[in-house]
Structure formats: C-alpha cells, structure tokens
C-alpha cells in the first residue's frame, strides 16, 4: 500500500493528505479533459461494483448501527446511487456538449460558445447517516464532470468504510479516487486543503467551520446541511392520509435524515386525532416496536444519549412525551422508536436544534396565515412539507416560503428526483448537486469567443473620435 492510497482510522498524518492531493493534481494536469467514453466507462464500472457489493454494504451498515434494516439501506443508500448512475450515463453526452450562445450585433462576426471543463480535484466530506449515497452520489457527479476526488468518510461507520474503500480501490487508482479516514482532526485538515471544489454534508454548525476553512483557499463550497424541516397539515387534509404521507419520512433510518420532518404543525382541533392515528399506523408498520427487524437503531450511544437528554429536558419543562409503541426504548442497544412530543416550548433544545432522530414535536395551530408568517421568520430549512389538496394554498406556500426543497402531500421523496437539483438555502446550505445541476457545480462553464480573419474590434481602438466610432456609439447607445 502506497502513501497515497488511504489514511486508516489510526493514521492521522496530515502530510499524507497533501501528498494525495498533489498526486491527484498532477494527474489532472496530465489529463485535464477525460473523454466521454472514459467517463462512461468509469460510471459503468462503479455501477457494477455497487451492485456486486450491495449485500456487503447492507451487512456493514447494520454492524455500524447495531441494527440497520437492510431494506432501509437498499432503498435509501443503494437504489438512489444506481438510479443516479443510470440517469447520468444516459444524459452525460448532452451535458458535455458545448452550448452555442449569441454574440450579439456588437461582436459580429464572432462565434461564442460555452464549454464545460472539469474543475480538477473535488473534496467530498461524508456524514454517517447515509454513508453510501452521500459518498457515491457526489462521486458519481464529480466523475461525470471529469474530476478526480478525495472522499473523507465518517469515523462512525468503520465497517461500511472498509467495504467502500476496497470497492473503490479495485476500480480506481489513488490518483483518480482516494478514500480518507480519521477523526475530527483529520476532517478539519481535509477541509483546509486547497481543493478545486469542496462538498460537505452534515450539520449547520460544522458547515460553518468547513466554509471558514475553505475560505482561506478561496475554495468554492457546496454545503448540504439541514435545519428544522416543518410538516404543515392544512385544515382540509384528512388526518389518516396526512399521517400515511409523512410517517415513512420520519421512520426511515429512525429519522436520522437531513430532510426528515422535524416537527408537525396540525390544526388544534385535530391534534389528538393526529396522535392516535400516528401511533396506530406506526404500530402497524413496526408491530414489535424497537424489536422490529425493519426498524433501524440510533447510530451510536453518543447520538442516543443526546436524544434521551433532549427528551428528559422537554419533560422537565412540562412537555408530554408519547411513545408510538409500548416497547419504546432499548438503552443498551441504543434503539428508540418514534416519540411524539406535545406541549413544547420554543426554548427547549429539541425546538432549537435539528432533531435528527425519532422525536417528533406536534404543534397545534389555530390560524393558518399566522402560522405561515411564523414559518417565514424561521431559518430556512432544507425541506418544507405541506399536506393539503387546496390548490390556492399549495401555490401560496410554494411561492412565499423558502426551503431547499419541498414536497406537497409527501415527504423526503423529492430527493430521489434524478432530473432536479438538491440543495439548501441559508442555514440549510448552499449550492446544488444531483442531475444536470450537479454536473454544472463540478464543472467550469467557460465562455470562448472565436474570431476569424476579420474583426470589428479594430474599429473601436484608439485614436478615438473618428466618424465611424461616433456612428457606432450613437447606434448602440440608443
């Protein structure tokens, strides 16, 4: 194993990060524009390796979590990557094609086009909640755009990292794709490297540190953060249907999703109906509570302790906590089913911070317009969910509230739209990837003006004041 192949969890020599980066930069300079065929071949190979390793990845993620539903991994980690690979391979030729632009009368005769060049070396910082999708997803886009990549995996998913590292090492040289592991100090050093672009997925708090470190190198960043994504149930929406549409988005991966519904706003006269319906539907999905094979654990003891601490704090301040199943917690196995939290206060920790787990505050409201005004004053979340069939209300919420993305009468599935950008706004992030927008994020759109033997540029050079220049200025300054 050479010095540039990988950093193990125990090897935190920051100098190696620069060695890997310099090797990739040199390789990029030697081959700065991979062909369409080369890119397609890389994507094809990656798809084959992913399908070959899907069972190993499911088992590894379950080991990392203590228990993680294989179905959760297949649906939320493996399937999105396969779909993205298929979509990208189908459209890449069109994306790479230079686009013709109008030169305008003032520049005639000239040809203007925009070409899409790879940026160079892309850094990808991966969180623990979906380590396959959130490492390979950005990698797919980076490779499609012709870049090389360094991937910093989370220290909280060591078994999954081992599978990913071997899979990628079998496909790519270290000068093409390099996998980095290590603790927080390695992540900090990684974010301070002079990448050509840096993509970070994680918390808003850490995102600020990443952007600050990148600023020293003027490294452009794409930040996929999170925030408190609301689910608003309008008065016209039947409660059973509303619960059906949002419960999966909160149950998948035990709510450890950046776009999971963080809290629910429900008409005050329907709050109790919502609680009863949610508990009933949850028990139908997970009849054994925390013992259900289909239910995923909280990732580790640290995150579990955070959630239980927030619950205890809320109860001490007067909140009512209602588990959705009698078998609600397994402290030793850090497993917790969804807990509905009523009578919350704004100063509670779970109302201040993104929950990122199986806690769901249920907040009644009496006036819809007041509620919408309150939402507009909040930090802009990564997702907004509206449950309503009122088309006028749908249009109002779509156009007057801000969020990274939105679902109407559903949750989380907008992330799976291959032909649409994904990204936050404000405190929930900046920039986009997925689909064509991802290709553009990891490319330099360079304008190229070409002239032949004749150029009108000579007509405007000094000495100034000739009759032809005066005529031209009079014409264009109308």
As a whole number of angstroms, the distance between CA 60 and CA 66 comes to 10
Percentage of residues in the chain with pLDDT exceeding 90? 88
Q: What are 444's strand-pairing partners?
A: 117
Average pLDDT score, the chain: 94
Strands 339-342 and 320-323: antiparallel
pLDDT single digits (tens) 237-251: 999 999 999 999 999
Nearest to 123 by CA among 137, 111, 138, 108: 138
Q: Which pLDDT belongs to residue 319?
A: 97
Residue showing tokens 């062909």: 35
> Residue range 37-50: average pLDDT?
98
Q: Which pLDDT belongs to residue 103?
A: 87
Contact 212, 202 (CB under 8 A): no
1 pLDDT above the threshold of 70: no
pLDDT class of 10 with cuts at 50, 70, 90: very low
As a whole number of angstroms, the distance between CA 182 and CA 158 comes to 10
Residues annotated catalytic, as ranges? 224
Domain 6-225+428-445 has CATH 3.40.605.10: yes
4 pLDDT above the threshold of 50: no
Nearest to 256 by CA among 210, 307, 293: 307
Q: Where in the chain is the domain with CATH 3.40.605.10?
A: 6-225+428-445
Q: In 317-356, which positions are buried (b, 16+ CB within 10 angstroms) versus exposed (e)?
A: eebeebbbbebbbbeebbbbbbbbbbebeeebebbebbbb
pLDDT class of 467 with cuts at 50, 70, 90: confident
Q: How many CA atoms lie within 13 A of 263 on its CB side?
A: 22
pLDDT class of 472 with cuts at 50, 70, 90: confident
8 pLDDT above the threshold of 80: no
Strands 111-118 and 443-450: antiparallel
Cα R_g (the chain), whole angstroms: 26
As a whole number of angstroms, the distance between CA 149 and CA 217 comes to 17
340 pLDDT above the threshold of 50: yes
Q: Which pLDDT belongs to residue 131?
A: 97
As a whole number of angstroms, the distance between CA 237 and CA 336 comes to 29
Q: Where in the chain is the domain with CATH 3.40.309.10?
A: 230-419
- Mention the CATH class of domain 230-419: alpha beta
Stated length of the chain:
478
pLDDT class of 2 with cuts at 50, 70, 90: very low
As a whole number of angstroms, the distance between CA 8 and CA 110 comes to 54
Cα dist from 107 to 42, 350, 472, whole Å:
40, 59, 12
147 pLDDT above the threshold of 70: yes
Percentage of residues in the chain with pLDDT exceeding 70? 97
As a whole number of angstroms, the distance between CA 420 and CA 417 comes to 6
Contact 336, 294 (CB under 8 A): no
pLDDT single digits (tens) 159-209: 999 999 999 999 999 999 999 999 999 999 999 999 999 999 999 999 999
pTM: 0.93
Strands 443-450 and 429-430: unpaired
Residue showing tokens 């490779």: 143
Q: DSSP letter at 391? A: H
């Amino acid at each position: 194993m050479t010095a540039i192949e990988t950093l193990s969890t125990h090897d935190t020599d920051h100098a190696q990060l620069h060695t890997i980066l310099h090797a990739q930069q040199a390789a990029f300079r030697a081959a700065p524009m991979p062909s369409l065929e080369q890119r397609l071949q890389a994507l094809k190979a990656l798809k084959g390796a992913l399908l070959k390793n899907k069972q190993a990845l499911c088992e590894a993620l379950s080991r990392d979590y203590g228990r993680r539903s294989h179905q959760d991994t297949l649906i939320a980690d493996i399937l999105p990557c396969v779909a993205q690979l298929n979509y990208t391979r189908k459209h890449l030729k069109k994306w790479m094609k230079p686009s013709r632009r109008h030169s305008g009368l003032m520049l005639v005769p000239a040809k203007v086009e925009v070409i899409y060049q790879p940026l160079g070396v892309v850094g990808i910082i991966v969180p623990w909640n979906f380590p396959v999708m959130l490492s390979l997803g950005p990698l797919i886009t980076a490779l499609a755009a012709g870049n090389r990549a360094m991937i910093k995996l989370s220290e909280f998913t060591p078994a999954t990292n081992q599978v990913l590292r071997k899979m990628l090492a079998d496909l790519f040289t270290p000068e093409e794709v390099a996998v980095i592991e290590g603790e927080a100090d390695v992540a900090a050093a990684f974010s301070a490297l002079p990448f050509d672009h840096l993509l970070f997925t994680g918390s808003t708090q850490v995102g600020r540190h990443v952007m600050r470190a990148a600023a020293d190198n003027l490294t452009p960043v794409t930040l996929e953060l999170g925030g408190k994504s609301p689910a608003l149930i309008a008065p016209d929406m039947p409660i059973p249907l509303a619960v059906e549409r949002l419960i999966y988005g909160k149950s998948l991966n035990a709510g450890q999703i950046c776009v999971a519904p963080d809290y629910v706003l429900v008409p005050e006269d329907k709050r109790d109906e919502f609680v009863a319906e949610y508990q009933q539907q949850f028990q139908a999905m997970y009849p054994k509570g925390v013992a259900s094979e289909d239910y995923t654990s909280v990732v580790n003891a640290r995150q579990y302790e955070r959630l239980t601490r927030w619950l205890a704090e809320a109860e001490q301040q007067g909140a009512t906590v209602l588990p959705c199943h009698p078998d609600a917690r397994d402290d030793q196995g850090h497993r917790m089913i969804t807990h509905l939290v009523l009578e919350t206060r704004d100063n509670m920790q779970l109302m201040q911070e993104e929950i990122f787990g199986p806690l769901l505050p249920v907040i009644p409201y009496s006036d819809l317009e007041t509620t919408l005004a309150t939402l507009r004053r909040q930090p802009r979340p990564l997702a907004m969910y509206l449950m309503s069939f009122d088309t006028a209300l749908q249009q109002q919420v779509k156009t007057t509230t801000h969020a990274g993305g939105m679902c109407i009468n559903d949750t989380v599935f907008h992330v799976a739209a291959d032909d649409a950008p994904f990204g936050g706004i404000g405190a929930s992030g900046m920039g986009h990837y997925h689909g064509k927008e991802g290709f553009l994020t990891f490319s330099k759109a360079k304008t190229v003006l070409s002239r032949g033997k004749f150029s009108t540029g000579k007509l405007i050079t000094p000495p100034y004041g000739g009759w032809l220049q005066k005529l031209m200025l009079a014409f264009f300054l109308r």
